[in-house]
Structure 1
């Protein structure tokens, strides 16, 4: 499959328990620990959405540990 074909496929934005985001081909079973966030579309559209909502790249557990320190 060429890159042009890949760009025409539908993707879903997914998030894991550590609040890290990724994209996943729409309609495919999700790996354990990942949940769809309700945003689907083309690859670029999904990546743009992630860029808007994922402003702190640190895993949730690291953010919580750093917040607990002070």
Structure 2
């Protein structure tokens, strides 16, 4: 049985951020998609979730000057 790499409790993940200040867990070893930057290098899923919980305090996308 193949495990979904996005839901593997024992997998190694990255924490990614985008220009809107949003976060994502991303499986280590899969190419990071354009528009996302690595905020936390390869870590356990639980460490990544803790990092996101500590750093993503506002789940609303960042507002820009164009948003008014």
The bucket for the TM-score relative to the shorter chain is: 0.7 to 0.9
1:10-56 Cα distance to aligned partner (Å, 9 max, x none): 00000011010010011211111111013431112101110001001
Structure 1 runs of 4+ off > 3 angstroms?
none
- Structure 1 partner of 2:49: 47
- Correspondent of 2:38 among 27, 36, 39: 36
Aligned CA-pair RMSD: 2.4
Q: In terms of Rg, which structure is larger?
A: 1
